[in-house]
Structure 1
Amino acid sequence: MIYSTVRIVATDGKEISVGTGFLVLRKISEDKGLLYIATNKHVVGDYQIGQFRFCATGKDGNPIDNQHIIVKINDLQQRCIYYPNDSVDLCFIDIMNEIEEARNAGHELFFRGITEELFINANLEQHMTAIEDVVMIGYPEGFCDEKNNKPVVRKGLTATSVDTDYNGKKEFMIDIACFHGSSGSPVFIETTGLGQKVNNESLTLGVKTSYCLAGIVHAMVIKNQNGDIKVKDVPTAKALYSETEIPLNLGYVIKAQRIRELMDIAFDQRNRTINTSNS
């Protein structure tokens, strides 16, 4: 999960938008697939330039955390695939061409795409309780481990049930503080239970933690100086965040079902795939 996220810096040369994205992958064959960065529409806005930083891959196939490769897109809007319903704050960024260009130049990016097998499904949702542990990964206030290019991990609870649609939308709420830069952060359900391991014909039981992608953060709840409660997009620019607005540590999450639906749209529109044997 740590290597699936990327900090997004979008700009028009004057204003800067900082947010979070994460890589989603649909396998087409054993070594081919569609790879996109999932984020919010308001993160990319109308900006044309996007910048992303990845860790390099060593000769042993492992990440070199302190060696970074900058990927830049100069036609960001042309690379975006937007969810067709304007009310759904979700889009994909096509970065496949840049990854292939980096490989051809001898720079292998290290990343992990989240495949649909890791998405929550209807069967899992039905077994969720009203209170579940959740993990959010991203770059609040733009913070990250700059030297090792690592995001910030936060843990909280579901604030509404995952198996119901909050206010009739494919969304649920989480009890985690969301700040500038948290837009586009993936949210995972964390479950813990007994796991089995077979070693030399012996069976060992132990505690096992597993995760599934539940959705993507897009909005937060704030209270202004007059005491009014509002729901707003998580800010992507610090200048947009007023000191008189107090976050209530509640975030709105678009369900993973919407991400899967946008993946279907991207699949229908695809004009190239990427080699995923090293991803």
Structure 2
Amino acid sequence: MEINSITKRLLFNTIRVDTVLEDGSEGSGTAFVVNHVHARGAHNFIVTNRHLVESVRRGGLVFTQKRNGQPAFGQRFQLNIEDFSHAWFMHPDPEVDLAIIPLRPLEQSAHDQGVDLYYHTIDSRLALDTPAQHTLDALEEVLFVGYPSGVWDQVNLMPILRRGTTATPIALDFEGRREFLIDAAVYPGSSGSPVFVYQSDAMRPMHAASKKFLFAGVVAAVFFREEANHLVPVPVPANNHSMVMGSEMIDLGLVIKARAVIDLINIYLGKWLD
């Protein structure tokens, strides 16, 4: 498969996160790569949820290898990180479920082992800011990429693409936080999935229609119905074993807005580069 479209490149924005939790159970989740231009240069960061990397005994990031500038489908390389949970830079506000790690030292470690990593970055300039959010309608189509319930094409190392719609207007902060809801099937393993607003350019002729993907945020939680008329948002668990027994998911996912990701990267860069 030739990587010759925006949608195909989305398949390589994400990285599978495999973990062993403190209780010995295995978990999986999603991370993705963001490129951010700072006053002192461009930097790539891996982004995921805080709850996915905290209290983890061991963890690794699964990449596709690169051959002659192209993805080597099925050629897996797992970067195991020492002291996994402490390697991540957490958002200083514990209520913001985000964590990042710079990609450069990890990529150098792979290179030292004779491996080149194939990935595509999400340009931070595609992150929806406040003015851009106000140009959107209350109902927009969204796409997110990840490993729901640990499902993926493990032969070709491909994530799963899923679609849904916004369930609350992105221009508004849901419950006063920089978050919004999507109407989509969010399952364990979807934690950390990047979410994009998908728009077609209707002004172009049908045969030349283009697609536009704007980085909208990160999946962080799913709503459960615990009892009649009582809904609660719960962080998307890393494995099926930690699902709330007797609870019903109602296909509403909570998404942290993309600007919170950019703010966290800027906090990190301000702390370590300035």
Same fold per superposition (TM over 0.5): yes
Query: Partners of 1:109 and 1:29 in 2: how far apart?
Result: 26
String of CA shifts for 1:30-55, please: whole Å, max 9, x gaps. Answer: 9x632221111110112242211111
Q: Does 1:169 align with 2:177?
A: yes
Query: Which residue type is aligned with residue 118 of structure 2?
Result: F
The alignment partner of 1:178 has SS state of: coil
TM-superposed CA distance for 1:106, in Å, is 2.2
String of CA shifts for 1:138-189, please: whole Å, max 9, x gaps. Answer: 1110111101111111101000001111111100000001111111111000
Counterpart for residue 200 of structure 2: 192
TM-superposed CA distance for 1:86, in Å, is 1.0
Contact 2:147 2:159 in 1 (8 A): yes
The alignment partner of 1:3 has SS state of: coil
Q: 1:100 to 1:195 in 2, by over 3 A?
A: farther
TM-superposed CA distance for 1:225, in Å, is 5.3
Contact 1:194 1:205 in 2 (8 A): no
String of CA shifts for 1:80-130, please: whole Å, max 9, x gaps. Answer: 111111111111133422211211332110011212122112232111000
TM-superposed CA distance for 1:66, in Å, is 1.6
Q: Does 1:17 align with 2:27?
A: yes
The alignment partner of 2:208 has SS state of: strand
Q: Does 1:223 align with 2:200?
A: no
Query: Partners of 2:230 and 2:57 in 1: how far apart?
Result: 35
Counterpart for residue 252 of structure 1: 254
Contact 2:18 2:62 in 1 (8 A): no
Counterpart for residue 123 of structure 1: 131
TM-superposed CA distance for 1:237, in Å, is 2.1
Counterpart for residue 134 of structure 1: 142
Contact 2:21 2:27 in 1 (8 A): no
TM-superposed CA distance for 1:11, in Å, is 2.1
Contact 2:142 2:166 in 1 (8 A): yes
RMSD: 2.2
Counterpart for residue 240 of structure 1: 242
Contact 2:16 2:63 in 1 (8 A): no
TM-superposed CA distance for 1:230, in Å, is 1.6
Counterpart for residue 84 of structure 1: 92
The alignment partner of 2:217 has SS state of: strand
Q: 1:29 to 1:146 in 2, by over 3 A?
A: farther
Query: Partners of 2:18 and 2:208 in 1: how far apart?
Result: 42
Contact 1:34 1:267 in 2 (8 A): no
Query: Partners of 1:143 and 1:171 in 2: how far apart?
Result: 26
Query: Partners of 1:205 and 1:231 in 2: how far apart?
Result: 42
Counterpart for residue 6 of structure 1: 15
Counterpart for residue 213 of structure 1: 215
Query: Partners of 1:175 and 1:125 in 2: how far apart?
Result: 18
String of CA shifts for 1:62-92, please: whole Å, max 9, x gaps. Answer: 1111211111101223321111111111111
Percent of residue pairs bearing the same amino acid type: 27
Query: Partners of 2:244 and 2:83 in 1: how far apart?
Result: 31
Structure showing greater Rg:
1
Query: Partners of 2:127 and 2:265 in 1: how far apart?
Result: 12
Q: Does 1:62 align with 2:70?
A: yes
Contact 1:195 1:205 in 2 (8 A): no
String of CA shifts for 1:180-202, please: whole Å, max 9, x gaps. Answer: 111111100000114669xxxxx
TM-superposed CA distance for 1:221, in Å, is 0.7
Q: Does 1:75 align with 2:77?
A: no
The alignment partner of 2:209 has SS state of: strand
Query: Partners of 2:220 and 2:119 in 1: how far apart?
Result: 23
Task: Show structure 2 runs of 5+ residues with no match.
Answer: 1-9
